[in-house]
Amino acid sequence: MRQSQLFGKTLREAPRDEISLNAKLLTRGGFIYKNSAGVYSFLPLGWRVIRKIADIIREEMNAIGGQEMFMAALHDKRYLTATGRWNVDVVFKVLAGGEKEPSFNISWTHEEIIAEIAAKYISSYKDLPLAAYQIQTKFRHEPRAKSGLLRGREFLMKDLYSFHSSEKDLMDYYEKVAVAYHKIFKRCGLKSIYTLAAGGEFTANYTHEFQVIADVGEDVIYVCEGCAYAENKEISKLKAGGQCPQCRGRVEEKKSIEVGNIFPLGTKYSEAFDLLFANEKGEKKHVVMGSYGIGLGRTLGTIVETSHDEKGIMWPETVAPFRVHLLEIKSTSSVVKRVAQKLYKTLLAREVEVLYDDRDEKTAGEKFADADLIGLPLRAVISEKTIAQKGIEVKKRSEREAKIISAKELLKLASC
């Protein structure tokens, strides 16, 4: 991609109305555009990151038997009425033309929708277990939409739903999802902590969150420094400095960001929508359900909050929008442009994702600053100086020192 043609520009200053670091850096870097409080559009750079995160999620969900689908976002009132969730504060309700009272809501979650669909296709124990997921936009009336992508009113979510013949089968799958979630977050460059939490509006049972330690986090967890057992402060009886009940290690209080959650739903939704199956004896039983969520935008925002320096973002290689940032330093000689364009075409031919800063109006200093702000894993510089040294100046975003290497060495490094 030629940076001169990129839809989205870097900014010297962050918008004054942004408080969170993730929103400031992502806006300045040309990754997102703020439409209103808690509502953001993803520009091409940001969408490339989202797609990388989505691909990782799909791989891990498919690996544990998840089948991808896509459900309706406009929900008839009867769905939430059936489970007593129509008047939940976060629900956005919709007035149809001529109506005095809203009869629809736009999706904030999909337990009710998937339960009704499943009731049409599950009838026997032979149909179980089953797991289906989607990646779709959700809408929630968030009163505290002030943390950039960490707390939005409109956001992209992966929601997985599983269906089982027993609680035991549910909990066996629940543990598989937990393992898959740790893999997902690790692949995204995040260290997640499995944390006991409340069920909120979803279930009366205890649930689990996947928390990432961060000073900007709005959650507080108590976590053991020995075995990493953790509980959310909202439900915890642990105390900072106390002993962990699992290993008797020391408990610490930490601020954190929730990036995912899993819920053992039981039969709440299957009872509301007559989701039944016949067991081996022919007896009718309610299907046992679980639900599992990951916020893609929140994951992206958390990566930025935990992987940056004073100059900008530092993307993990697995989710970076491009692998290489190729900088052509303005020169009176046509040789620099010719060499840079040749390298650009070579990288593309090798299927290396490359952002080529070919902007003639930008100084070397401006290009270096933009490269640090955007934060791609590798920066490669072509200038009169590097040509004189018969090489390319290459620097990893995670390192301070640059070095001169050959084009052959760069291609090998970029292809790793």
Cα torsion 339, 343, 349, 354: sign: negative
- Return the closest-CA partner of residue 163 out of 59, 291, 60, 48: 291
Task: Say how far apart CA 385 and CA 67 lie, in whole Å.
Answer: 54
Q: Are 336 and 384 in contact (CB under 8 A)?
A: yes
Residue 33: partners with Cβ closer than 8 Å, 6 or more residues away:
8, 27, 40, 41, 43
What is the per-residue pLDDT for 201? 53
Question: How crowded is residue 15: how many other Cβ atoms within 10 Å of its Cβ?
Answer: 11
Q: From CA 202, how far away is CA 76, in angstroms rounded?
A: 19
Model pLDDT, residue 203: 56
Q: What is the crossing angle of helices 21-28 and 296-306, to 10°?
A: 90
pLDDT at res. 208: 96
pLDDT at 257: 97
How large is the angle between the packed helices 167-187 and 44-63, nearest 10 degrees? 140
Structure tokens belonging to residue 50: 């989202």
Q: Supply 213's token pair.
A: 């330690």
The predicted structure's pLDDT at residue 204: 52
Closest CA to 261 of 171, 173, 341, 177: 177
Q: How far is residue 95 CA from its own chain's centroid?
A: 31
How far apart CA 230 and CA 404 sit, in angstroms, is 47
CB 181 within 8 A of CB 220: no
Tokens 């989205």 -> residue? 8
Give the CA diameter of the chain.
Answer: 85
> Token match 């009169």: residue?
384
In single-letter form, the type of residue at position 165 comes to S
Which secondary-structure segment (H or E) carries 256? strand 251-266
pTM of the model: 0.96
| pLDDT digit string (tens) for the chain, length 416 residues | 999 999 999 999 998 889 999 999 999 999 999 999 999 999 999 999 999 999 999 999 999 999 999 999 999 999 999 999 999 999 999 998 888 999 999 999 999 999 999 999 999 999 999 999 999 999 999 887 889 999 999 999 999 999 999 999 999 999 999 999 999 999 999 999 999 998 655 555 789 999 999 999 999 999 999 999 999 999 999 999 999 999 999 999 999 999 999 999 999 999 999 999 999 999 999 999 999 999 999 999 999 999 999 999 999 999 999 999 999 998 988 999 999 999 999 999 999 999 999 999 999 999 999 999 999 999 999 999 999 999 999 999 999 999 999 999 999 999 87
Report the pLDDT value the prediction gives residue 145, as an integer from 0 to 100: 81
The identity of residue 117, as a single letter, is I
